């Protein structure tokens, strides 16, 4: 059993581990730690767990993740909304220790099957992270924000900002508004005829996504929008900003906190 480094949601001090229980030494609050997964989350709706248990496929970005980041080691990485670990697997060698948090217990169990080393798995809520301030050198969140109600998203981003080190990086990617249009029409490339994802409830344009990040006091230091990014990189084609920010299916932003 690996040693966890997790913190009480109330007191934000390190928890003590006693077999399958994590205990706060200050307030006495207890959290379950079962089969290598720390449980901080309440049960999510059954239909969501069933949907994610059945869903298969690729995020389509795994092979590109490392090129968005500085080629250096990060002491602590958080994969926020990690799902079954497809993004985790792409960046695991960039970190000394990687924390993986998701609201779906089933997805975390699928991640365990990948047998990636140096992971700490957490079944938790992105709006209330079990970490102290300035804890992570890098936080990634790949295709999570579209599953969060917009009114809750600022809470999530402020939590990210709280646990990110002052010089840390935040790489965040979403399935964008135009992706949602194609999905509803069932004409997504490679997914023709497939039913829309019922958990996609917040499909933002790149402009709205950027505005939300800035409201949470993040400075955007790099952005890329798909599929235009691939054409710009390969053939040096420059697309009008209006076109990119309307018809992008995915947006990637690398951010740092504004002091």
The residue ranges of every structural domain in the chain are 38-224+252-257
Residue listed under structure tokens 């579209």: 146
Which residues fall within 8 angstroms of residue 44, CB to CB, at 6 or more apart?
103, 104
Q: What is the C-alpha separation between 142 and 134, in angstroms, rounded?
A: 21
| Contact predicate 176/209, CB 8 Å | yes
pLDDT at 64: 67
Q: What is the C-alpha separation between 186 and 184, in angstroms, rounded?
A: 5
Kindly give the pairing relationship between strand 250-257 and strand 218-226: antiparallel
- 23 beta partners: 16, 30
For the chain, give the mean pLDDT.
88
pLDDT at 6: 92
Angle CA 158–173–220, to nearest 5? 60
Which residues in the chain show pLDDT less than 50? Answer: 1
pLDDT at 1: 45
| Contact predicate 129/101, CB 8 Å | yes
pLDDT at 74: 92
Task: Please choose, from the candidates 195, 197, 206, the residue with its C-alpha nearest in 3D space to the C-alpha of residue 241.
Answer: 206
Within 13 Å of residue 122, how many CA atoms lie on the same side as its CB?
A: 25
Q: What is the DSSP string of the chain?
A: -PPP--B-TTT-SBPEEETTEEE-TTT--EEEEETTEEE-SPPPPHHHHHHHHH-----S-GGGGGGGS-SS-EEEEEEET-TTSHHHHHHGGGEEEEEEEES-HHHHHHHHTT--SSEEEEE-BTTB-SS-SS-EEEEEEES-GGGS-HHHHHHHHHHHHHHEEEEEEEEEEEE-HHHHHHHHTT--TT-TTPPPPTT------HHHHHHHHHHTTEEEEEEEEETHHHHHHHH-----HHHHHHH-SEEEEEEEE--
Q: What CATH superfamily is the domain 38-224+252-257?
A: Vaccinia Virus protein VP39 (3.40.50.150)
């Amino acid at each position: 059993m690996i040693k966890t480094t997790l913190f009480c949601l109330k007191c934000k001090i390190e928890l003590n581990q006693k077999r399958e229980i994590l205990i706060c030494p200050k307030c006495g609050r207890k959290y379950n730690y079962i089969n290598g997964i720390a449980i901080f989350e309440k049960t999510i709706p059954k239909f969501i767990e069933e949907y994610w248990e059945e869903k298969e496929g690729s995020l389509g970005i795994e092979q590109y993740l490392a090129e968005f980041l500085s080629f250096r080691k990060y002491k602590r990485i958080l994969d926020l909304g990690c799902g079954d670990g497809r993004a985790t697997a792409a960046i695991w060698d960039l970190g000394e220790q990687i924390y993986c948090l998701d609201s779906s217990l089933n997805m975390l169990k699928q991640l365990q099957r990948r047998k990636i080393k140096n992971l700490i798995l957490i079944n938790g809520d992105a709006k209330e992270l079990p970490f102290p301030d300035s804890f992570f050198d890098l936080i990634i969140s790949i295709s999570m924000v579209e599953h969060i109600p917009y009114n809750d998203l600022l809470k999530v981003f402020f939590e990210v900002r709280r646990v990110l080190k002052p010089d840390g990086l935040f790489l965040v990617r979403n399935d964008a508004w135009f992706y949602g249009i194609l999905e509803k029409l069932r004409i997504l490339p490679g997914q023709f005829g497939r039913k829309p994802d019922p958990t996609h409830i917040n499909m933002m344009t790149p402009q709205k996504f950027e505005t939300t990040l800035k409201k949470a006091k993040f400075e955007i230091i790099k952005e890329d929008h798909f599929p235009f990014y691939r054409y710009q990189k390969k053939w040096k084609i420059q697309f009008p900003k209006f076109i990119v920010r309307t018809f992008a299916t995915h947006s990637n932003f690398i951010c740092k906190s504004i002091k």
